[in-house]
Amino acid sequence: MARQQRTDAARATFSRRRLLGAAGVIGAAGLTGGGFALGSAIATPQKETTAGDETPLYGEHQAGIATPTQDRMVFAAFDVTTGDVGAVKSMLAAWTVAAAAMCAGKQVGDNEKHPLSPPDDTGEAVGLPPSQLTITIGFGPSLFDERFGLAGRKPAKLVQLPHFAADQLDPRKSDGDICIQACANDPQVAFHAVRNLTRLGRGTLATRWMQLGFGKTSATSRAQATPRNLFGFKDGTNNIKGEDTAAMDQFVWVGDEADQAWMKGGSYLVTRRINMHIETWDRDSLKDQEAVFGRFKLSGAPLTGHEEFDAPDLAAKGDDGAEVIPTGAHIRLAAPSRHGGARILRRGYSFSDGADPTLGDFDAGLFFIAYQKDPASQFIAIQKDLAANDALNEYIIHTGSAIFACPGGLQQGETWADKLA
């Protein structure tokens, strides 16, 4: 009976609650309590790892895509600052050697040979296990402009993302020539990886933007439980799992259809920095929150089901003839059946970058990461629908956006520079 009452309530017209007048009264106390809780979540000790927790750099595909999602992430995008394509390729070759060492839990370079010079490795990961570190790199559309003579190497599907409805993108948090995604179960290991590769790139590129992530928001393995986002809802219940090789081949990995040989075995990466209006959300009713997502908050089950992995019945209607899963519910608008069966592989992270200096609200949300083989028919098509119709839009704002072509995996003796040869 209680479930039926909640389902009926979820079909009601959404009663939206923007910033309430009471915010000024409870704002300071709310921020103090919320900040403590979020800080505690960030500081939660990670599962103990061993030296055997190693993910090799080499393979048919780049690690960090189908790899079971680790707990922490550092993502960085760079602008190339030189016009010398040879310097770019030399840097990518050096990156490959350094990345292979760090993924194996080793230091970069020789750190004792020249005691009067700075060491090759910055040192903060010495003594730490690999922590399942993966390093994934990608090339942005701008890398293939007139600067380097690489226009003929650009994949046709590497298209600039369009401006979606309600986007408020910050160019300082968007785009880039080259990206690094470092994921690990230890935040220091992930940061160490990006720090050392950035150091190797000095004089060739400059950091455009960087994002740290904690708390994975999507499971990419059947062995992982579905995590929750900062709104408290299970996120990515129906995400593609890495063990589903048929789905990976159909929706994620670029195959023989690649117009550039270096993209075979690769994938197209889309990132979106999505700020969440946490304070507004926290003042909304449970029934309204569940109507926005189309799921029950605690169980994760669709409003038409009982268990998390029950298939949502998008045609179900209540006694009053209204849809049980509301028209604007996120689960309805993101359903593959609405987009010709299109799916994407998600492996995003929550982020918290302090507080907004104007209002004092959390600068926090979801750093969305998605991999696919055709951005136009997958992410772009899905996001156009979501941007125009999703009830969740009242509580979020897209502030950063980027797309990259992630080449296929490396074989022993091959470097990322070879992909652009």
Percent of the chain with pLDDT over 70: 88
* The pairing of beta strand 72-80 with beta strand 178-184: antiparallel
Q: Is residue 32 part of a domain?
A: no
pLDDT of 296 > 90? The answer is: yes
What is the pLDDT at residue 355? 92
Q: Would 354 be classed as within a structural domain? A: yes
- Residue 396: give the domain boundaries: 2-11+138-176+207-420
Please write the tens of the pLDDT for every residue from 216-235.
999 999 999 999 999 999 98
- The Cα–Cα gap between 142 and 165 comes to 23
In terms of Cα–Cα distance, which of 206, 65, 182 is closest to 130? 182
Question: Is 379 among the domain residues?
Answer: yes
In a domain, 125, yes or no: no
Which residue shows structure tokens 């990156």? 95
pLDDT computed for residue 52 by the predictor = 56
Q: Tell me the C-alpha distance between 56 and 78, whole Å.
A: 24
The pLDDT score that the predictor gives to residue 32 is 32
* Residue 218 identity: S
Residue 28 has pLDDT above 50, yes or no: no
Is 262 domain-assigned? yes
Q: Which helix (H) or strand (E) holds 136?
A: strand 134-139
List pLDDT tens digits, range 330-375. Answer: 999 999 999 999 999 999 999 999 998 888 899 999 999 999 999 9
pLDDT tens digit string along 212-221? 999 999 999 9
Q: How far is CA 216 from the centre of its chain?
A: 9
In a domain, 78, yes or no: no
pLDDT of amino acid 111: 81
Angle CA 100–75–353, to nearest 5: 145
Q: In what helix (H) or strand (E) does residue 24 lie, and over which residues does it extend?
A: helix 23-42
418: Cα within 13 Å, side-chain hemisphere: 11
Residue 163: Cβ within 10 Å count: 11
Count up the domains in the chain and report the number. Answer: 1
Q: What 3-state class would DSSP assign to 282? A: helix
Give the model's pLDDT for residue 27. 32
83 belongs to a structural domain: no
Q: Are residues 416 and 96 in contact, defined by beta-carbon separation less than 8 angstroms? A: yes
Give one word for 70, left, alpha or beta, with left for phi > 0 and alpha for psi -120 to 50: beta
Query: What is the pTM for the complete model shown?
Result: 0.87
Q: Helices in 239-374 by DSSP H: which ranges?
A: 245-251, 278-282, 286-293, 330-333
Q: Are 73 and 181 in contact (CB under 8 A)?
A: yes
| Structural domain includes residue 281 | yes
Most confident by average pLDDT, 16-30, 36-50, 103-117, 173-187: 173-187
